[in-house]
Amino acid sequence: MISINKLSIHFTGTDLFSDISFMINDRDRIGLTGKNGSGKTTLLNIIAGELRPQEGEIIIPNNTRLGYLPQEKTTESELTVYKEALNAFEEIHQLEQKIEKLSAEIAHRTDYESKEYDILIHKLSDANEHFQMIGGDTMEADTEKVLMGLGFKRSDFTRPVNEFSSGWQMRVELAKILLSKPDVVLLDEPTNHLDIESIQWLEEFLKTYPGAVVMVSHDRAFLDAVTKRTIEISNSKIYDYKAGYSAYIKMREERLGLQKALYTNQQKEIKEIEQFIERFRYKSTKAKQVQSRIKMLDKMEQIEIDDMDNSAIHFRFPPAPRSGKVVIGTEGLSKSYGDLDVLDLIELSIIKGDKVAFVGKNGEGKSTLSRIIVRDLDHTGELKYGHNTQIGYFAQNQGEFLDPNKTVFETLDDIATGDIRKRVRGILGAFLFSGETIDKKVKVLSGGEKSRLAIAKLLLEPVNLLVLDEPTNHLDMQSKDILKSALLQFDGTLIIVSHDRDFLQG
Beta-sheet strand order (sheet of 355-358): 355-358, 493-497, 465-469, 391-394
The secondary element (H helix, E strand) that includes residue 177 is helix 166-180
* Report field, pTM of the whole predicted structure over 0.85: no
Q: DSSP 3-state assignment of 282?
A: coil
The secondary element (H helix, E strand) that includes residue 231 is strand 229-234
Q: How far apart are CA 314 and CA 318, in angstroms?
A: 13
Q: How confident is the model at residue 247 (pLDDT cuts 50, 70, 90)?
A: very high
Q: How far apart are CA 407 and CA 436, in angstroms?
A: 11
* Number of Cβ atoms within 10 Å of the Cβ of 95: 18
Helix, strand, coil shares, percent, the chain, to 5:
45, 20, 35
Q: How confident is the model at residue 190 (pLDDT cuts 50, 70, 90)?
A: very high
Q: How far apart are CA 428 and CA 310, in angstroms?
A: 13
The alpha carbon dihedral of 489, 491, 492, 495 has a sign of positive
pLDDT given at position 31: 96
The secondary element (H helix, E strand) that includes residue 233 is strand 229-234
Phi, psi (deg, nearest 5) at residue 472: -95, 0
Q: What is the DSSP letter of 242?
A: S
Closest CA to 468 of 402, 415, 398: 398
Q: Which CATH architecture fits 326-504?
A: 3-Layer(aba) Sandwich (3.40)
Enumerate the β-bridge partners of residue 14: 11
Give domain limits for the chain.
Answer: 257-299, 326-504
Q: pLDDT tens digits for 431-479?
A: 778 788 899 999 988 777 888 899 888 877 788 999 999 988 777 787 7
Q: Taking 50 as the threshold, does the pLDDT of residue 38 lie above it?
A: yes
Q: How far apart are CA 97 and CA 287, in angstroms?
A: 85
Q: How confident is the model at residue 311 (pLDDT cuts 50, 70, 90)?
A: very low
Closest CA to 58 of 3, 122, 112: 3
Alpha-helix runs per DSSP H in 63-157:
81-86, 90-107, 115-133, 139-149
Q: Cα torsion at 57, 62, 67, 68 (round to 10°)?
A: 20
Alpha-helix runs per DSSP H in 281-402:
287-299, 366-373
Q: How far apart are CA 317 and CA 299, in angstroms?
A: 50
pLDDT given at position 312: 47
Q: Is 59 exposed, middle or buried (0-12, 13-18, 19+ CB in 10 A)?
A: exposed
Q: DSSP 3-state assignment of 375?
A: coil
Highest mean predicted confidence (pLDDT) among 52-61, 92-101, 180-189, 481-490: 180-189
pLDDT given at position 431: 78
Contact (CB, 8 A) for 39 and 16: yes
Percent of the chain with pLDDT over 90: 47
310 vs 196 pLDDT, higher one: 196
pLDDT given at position 336: 92
Q: Taking 50 as the threshold, does the pLDDT of residue 310 lie above it?
A: no
Q: How far apart are CA 395 and CA 469, in angstroms?
A: 5
Q: Taking 90 as the threshold, does the pLDDT of residue 340 lie above it?
A: no
Q: pLDDT tens digits for 341-394?
A: 899 999 999 999 999 999 888 878 999 999 999 999 999 999 999 999 999 999
Q: pLDDT tens digits for 135-167?
A: 777 888 999 999 999 999 999 999 999 888 888
Q: Across all residues in the chain, what is the average pLDDT?
A: 88
Q: How far apart are CA 33 and CA 39, in angstroms?
A: 9
Q: How far apart are CA 7 and CA 18, in angstroms?
A: 6
pLDDT given at position 148: 95
Q: How far apart are CA 407 and CA 334, in angstroms?
A: 41
Q: How far apart are CA 173 and CA 159, in angstroms?
A: 15
